[in-house]
Amino acid sequence: MLFAHPVGGSLLAYQPLVARLTDLRCLGLEASQRTFFDGGAAGSIQELARRYVGGFGTDHPTIDVICGWSFGGALAWEIACLLGERGERPKVVLLDSTWARGEVPVWTPAEALQGFLQDALSVGGRDVQVVADTHEEAAAALDMDLKTFGERLEIFAHNRRILCEWRPTPGALDVVSVRAAESNTSDWRTATTGGVHDHDLPGDHYTLLADAGTVAAIEQIIRDDRPAATGGPGAAGEQVGESDAADLHASLAKLVDTPHWRELVIRARRMDPDAIAEAYRELGRRGLLTPDWPREAGGSGLPTRLAIELFEGFCSTGLPDLVYALTVQIVGNFVLKSGSDRLKRELLPRISRGEEFATVLYSEPRAGSDLAALRTKAERRGDRYVLNGVKVFSIYSDISGSALVSARTGQGGNKYDGITLFVIDLAADGVSVELVETLQRERMCRVRLQDVEVESWRRVGDEGRGWALLDGALAIERTGIDHVVRAARWLGALRGTTGRVPGLERLEGQVECATTLARTATEVFLQADVKAIDTAVAKLYTSETCQQVGHEVLRRWSTLGTAPGVDDLVGEELFSGLTESPGLTLSAGTSEMMLSTISADLKEEHSRRCLGILHHFGGDLVDTVLDVLGPVGAGVKVEPLFAHSPARRGALARTLADLGFDRIERPEDEGGLGLGLPVGCAISLSTGYLGYENAYRSCALQGGGAEADDEEALHHDCDAPACRLRHAAYVLGLGIGLFHSAWEHASTREQFGQNLVAFDALMFPLIRGYAELSALGVRLHEIAENLADMDDGVVRRFELVEQDALVRVIRAAMQVLGAQGITEWSVASRFYMKCAQNIGWLDREGTVAIG
């Protein structure tokens, strides 16, 4: 059970309740300056919830109940919605939690001071009025030191502001709403389509958790309303979900394991519209296209990850994936999130049944990738609009029934104002579709719109406010899941025709990294607030990885294209890799656009983004390791700065042992904590990020082998996959630390009147390196969690990808750092030499014995 902190940031208010729940595992989120303000203050409760959930990692304990009082209820709801997007469905218990109606006055500093003081007194059970004119007086009244008081006041004032602006994200989770009779209340039925159980108890907002009688009542409500099973094996809800998933997977396997399906796929790859239509109708008839959509939209309400698994399954057979990506993932999900009720009713069930395809009409002649430069106009005439314009480079418009169109309905203060989005009927009068011949088989079209009448219910979002929605639609388009499915098919075709060619093993590992990254990015599909930056890294890395596979086909085409006896479907895949790969880094936003988007984000958030890669392994653990080991390492004087220091490594190892971290992976029955390999990787990763020697030595310590200062024996000679993965984590941490040092330097170093971060030619290689580090971090975590179930070569392939990527990161970082980076007093020199001493060990088959 998880408790979310109230407005003041402390968990003190829950103590009487938690004391009655000693048989349950109760966890709590307490506010910290780091969570709230690192990388800029959280602008909303939704953003604060994302920061907390981002720190959970994927190996957090099962949360079957999440509870919050007051502000904590708002935070609990938003966290629960984010967990829901991952396929988890915690029960939400809200204790006197509501939202503001109308305008809420902004407090003066004096009012904030008094409000915090009174809130803290009331939470502490002191029903008295105390007036304080200064921070010192208020801190004394609360028996707090001045520093702690200042931090808590800042958190309180910030939380009150974002609470006053908060409106709940719509969701579908069950809610238990406990309300104080003397408080204002809100109807949670307006925020969720799940069940809502209301319980009204006597008292006011503060006595609800202070009165022994009401606390006992809340305890009983929680116990009565908890799920019968707590998410472990055998839980009823989990059994139903697993049964549904198994049935859908079995249905797909039965469908695709037939000669007829293979024939359909080959015809579909050759752009036979009847074959494409039949294949998708069969998928729709079996409920395989949109299992994660709500039932009223034609889905089954199952987790999004199941929909992605099924998509990968049927598209791995060779079925054209862009039909699905455009229809379901882009247009369908966009309408599901932002369309009118009538548009949802009329379009989504047809998409779900595979009866209608959809496309997007964004690009225009001479506008290129600048979607805000569009000229298509939509003129309002009564209850409808009239559209005129030309769209180019759209895919599958010739077989689609609907299209998401951007048009200009007005002219505002800048080119992004006055854009409106519509879903139009491509069979409407005035729409003409012309094929544009290209290298590839997938059909590209020019679509002319001449006096096309569009009903107002087909408008998506508010008139003239389409750019913000378009930004989210593009983010949905850029997860890269379609790229990685293609890359895997092309790579399989290459393997089938060329055998084990040097270089393909590394490329296979890179496709695995890209696949993990893309799957993670698909969490945006049903996310309420989606921004371009959410998937920019995924789009960049997956499209360029897929393109590299295509380049391998290009490199060998002179022999592959004429090879005798090549299977028809394999031949189609190879031709697809040759002809489609050039456009991958152009469509849905060029690589240069993605680099610019990531650059703008890093200029504001580079420290938080670097820590975000580490936090995937567990935010609290990583922060603890960094906070504790940072000063220990800094306290050991090393000259020159880049020299290897056995003394520093020994000090770090002793500190880890003092914390019990040397036993953190060891099974509990052997006197350890049994927290597993991901935690060990988190420690190694954090040590690398600091640029210190790798002092975490779980493998060697358990074996009782190497001496404390024998680094090679500790980290290099052991060929166990787990030990190799910890070393890979350490090397990844070094790469992230070097990137951070280079970006810090570029942010402050001025050249030709500008900071270095302003020079794209210099920074783009470094930003591309950041994308590679992000992909490596996600993949490393997945391997660490599932190593026992993976094939023997997975660590080897990861090592090859990491070594290759780290060389590029180092080269880009040192170029940015300039001459300063190679001086003996530069922190960057320490990272550089540590990388040099360690990345060679990633390629164990390529190392050379010396002496």
pLDDT digits (tens, 9 = 90+) for 173-204: 888 999 887 776 667 887 887 778 888 888 88
Tell me, yes or no, whether 211 lies in a domain: yes
So what's the pLDDT on residue 139?
A: 87
* Pair 582, 604 in one domain: no
- Provide the pLDDT confidence category of residue 228 given band limits of 50, 70 and 90: very low
* Pair 564, 658 in one domain: no
Which range has the worst mean pLDDT, 208-217, 446-455, 476-485?
A: 208-217
Tell me, yes or no, whether 230 lies in a domain: no
CA-nearest of 271, 270, 273, 301 to 287 is 301
Domain that holds residue 388: 358-465
Tell me, yes or no, whether 334 lies in a domain: no
Task: Decide if pLDDT at 699 tops 50.
Answer: yes
- Provide the pLDDT confidence category of residue 537 given band limits of 50, 70 and 90: very high
Tell me, yes or no, whether 628 lies in a domain: yes
Please state the pTM of the whole predicted model. 0.72
User: Between 461 and 843, where is the model more confident?
Assistant: 461
Task: Decide if pLDDT at 102 tops 70.
Answer: no
CA atoms within 13 A on the CB side of 243: 7
What is the per-residue burial (b if ≥16 Cβ within 10 Å, else e) of 544-555?
A: bbbbbbbebbbe
Burial classification of residue 212, based on how many CB atoms lie within 10 Å of its CB (0-12 exposed, 13-18 middle, 19 or more buried): exposed
Task: Decide if pLDDT at 468 tops 70.
Answer: yes
- Per-residue pLDDT, averaged over 86-98, amounts to 84
Residues ≥6 apart with Cβ < 8 Å to 221: 93, 176, 178, 199
Dist CA 648 CA 746 (whole Å) = 29
Q: What are phi and psi of 627, to 5 degrees?
A: -65, -35
Tell me, yes or no, whether 352 lies in a domain: no
Which of 589, 605, 634 terminates a domain? The answer is 589
Residues ≥6 apart with Cβ < 8 Å to 491: 504, 507, 508, 511, 549
- Provide the pLDDT confidence category of residue 391 given band limits of 50, 70 and 90: very high
Task: Decide if pLDDT at 548 tops 50.
Answer: yes
Dist CA 661 CA 697 (whole Å) = 10
CA-nearest of 295, 315, 172, 305 to 242 is 305
Task: Decide if pLDDT at 582 tops 90.
Answer: yes
Share of the chain above pLDDT 70, in %: 90
Task: Decide if pLDDT at 708 tops 50.
Answer: no
- Per-residue pLDDT, averaged over 9-29, amounts to 84
Dist CA 436 CA 239 (whole Å) = 50
So what's the pLDDT on residue 847?
A: 47
So what's the pLDDT on residue 673?
A: 79
Dist CA 363 CA 519 (whole Å) = 27
Tell me, yes or no, whether 390 lies in a domain: yes
- Rounded to whole angstroms, what are the CA distances from 591 to 393, 472, 577? 18, 18, 18
* Pair 67, 172 in one domain: yes
* Pair 281, 419 in one domain: no
CA 440 vs. chain centroid, Å, equals: 32
So what's the pLDDT on residue 230?
A: 33
- Provide the pLDDT confidence category of residue 60 given band limits of 50, 70 and 90: low
* Pair 694, 828 in one domain: yes
CB distance 291 to 248 below 8 Å:
yes
* Pair 609, 721 in one domain: yes
**Top mean-pLDDT range of 165-179, 298-312, 668-682:** 298-312
Q: Which residues lie across from 358 on neighbouring strands?
A: 402
CA-nearest of 727, 718, 716, 713 to 798 is 727
- Per-residue pLDDT, averaged over 58-67, amounts to 76
- Rounded to whole angstroms, what are the CA distances from 351 to 104, 291, 359, 743? 43, 12, 12, 45
Which of 435, 465, 495 terminates a domain? The answer is 465
Dist CA 120 CA 19 (whole Å) = 20
Tell me, yes or no, whether 344 lies in a domain: no
Task: Decide if pLDDT at 707 tops 80.
Answer: no
- Per-residue pLDDT, averaged over 97-113, amounts to 76
Q: How many domains does the chain have?
A: 5
Residues ≥6 apart with Cβ < 8 Å to 343: 335, 423, 457, 458, 460
CA-nearest of 393, 407, 401 to 449 is 407
So what's the pLDDT on residue 628?
A: 93
Which tens digit of pLDDT belongs to each residue from 617-655?
Answer: 888 889 999 999 999 999 998 888 888 889 999 999 999
So what's the pLDDT on residue 528?
A: 61
- Per-residue pLDDT, averaged over 203-232, amounts to 72
CA-nearest of 363, 364, 346 to 355 is 346
* Pair 171, 22 in one domain: yes
- Per-residue pLDDT, averaged over 531-557, amounts to 93
Dist CA 677 CA 696 (whole Å) = 12
User: Between 398 and 716, where is the model more confident?
Assistant: 398
N-term to C-term CA, the chain: 58
Q: What are phi and psi of 722, to 5 degrees?
A: -65, -40
Which tens digit of pLDDT belongs to each residue from 74-89?
Answer: 999 999 988 887 777 7
Dist CA 755 CA 84 (whole Å) = 42
Structure tokens at 46: 């939704």
Which tens digit of pLDDT belongs to each residue from 144-179?
Answer: 888 888 888 988 988 888 888 888 888 878 889 998
- Per-residue pLDDT, averaged over 721-740, amounts to 94
- Provide the pLDDT confidence category of residue 282 given band limits of 50, 70 and 90: very high
CA 558 vs. chain centroid, Å, equals: 40
Which range has the worst mean pLDDT, 241-245, 330-334, 756-760?
A: 241-245
At residue 827, what is the residue type? Answer: V
CA dihedral 252, 356, 519, 552 (to 10 degrees): 90
* CATH at residue 416: 2.40.110.10
CA-nearest of 45, 6, 53 to 619 is 53
Measured N-to-C along each axis, helices 71-85 and 45-56 cross at an angle, to the nearest 10 degrees, of 60
Tell me, yes or no, whether 688 lies in a domain: yes
* Pair 215, 252 in one domain: no
Dist CA 693 CA 479 (whole Å) = 36
Residues ≥6 apart with Cβ < 8 Å to 682: 614, 617, 618, 621, 622, 625, 729
DSSP state of 258: S
So what's the pLDDT on residue 770?
A: 97
- Provide the pLDDT confidence category of residue 667 given band limits of 50, 70 and 90: confident
CA 237 vs. chain centroid, Å, equals: 25
CA-nearest of 553, 362, 316 to 466 is 362
CA-nearest of 793, 812, 784, 807 to 516 is 784
Structure tokens at 727: 């070393």
**Top mean-pLDDT range of 219-228, 425-434, 459-468:** 425-434
* Pair 250, 388 in one domain: no
| Vertex 543 angle, CA 376 and 769, to 5° | 115
* Pair 532, 678 in one domain: no
* Pair 167, 207 in one domain: yes
User: Between 440 and 692, where is the model more confident?
Assistant: 692
Task: Decide if pLDDT at 229 tops 70.
Answer: no
So what's the pLDDT on residue 649?
A: 92
So what's the pLDDT on residue 424?
A: 97
Dist CA 698 CA 726 (whole Å) = 9
- Per-residue pLDDT, averaged over 548-567, amounts to 88
- Rounded to whole angstroms, what are the CA distances from 105 to 161, 518, 707, 830? 10, 43, 65, 52
CA 665 vs. chain centroid, Å, equals: 27
| Vertex 553 angle, CA 279 and 772, to 5° | 90
- Provide the pLDDT confidence category of residue 844 given band limits of 50, 70 and 90: low
* CATH at residue 85: 3.40.50.1820
Task: Decide if pLDDT at 603 tops 90.
Answer: yes
Burial classification of residue 383, based on how many CB atoms lie within 10 Å of its CB (0-12 exposed, 13-18 middle, 19 or more buried): exposed
CA-nearest of 392, 476, 388, 469 to 424 is 388
Which of 589, 618, 646 terminates a domain? The answer is 589
* Pair 366, 382 in one domain: yes
Residues ≥6 apart with Cβ < 8 Å to 383: 455, 456
Task: Decide if pLDDT at 232 tops 90.
Answer: no
* CATH at residue 636: 1.20.140.10
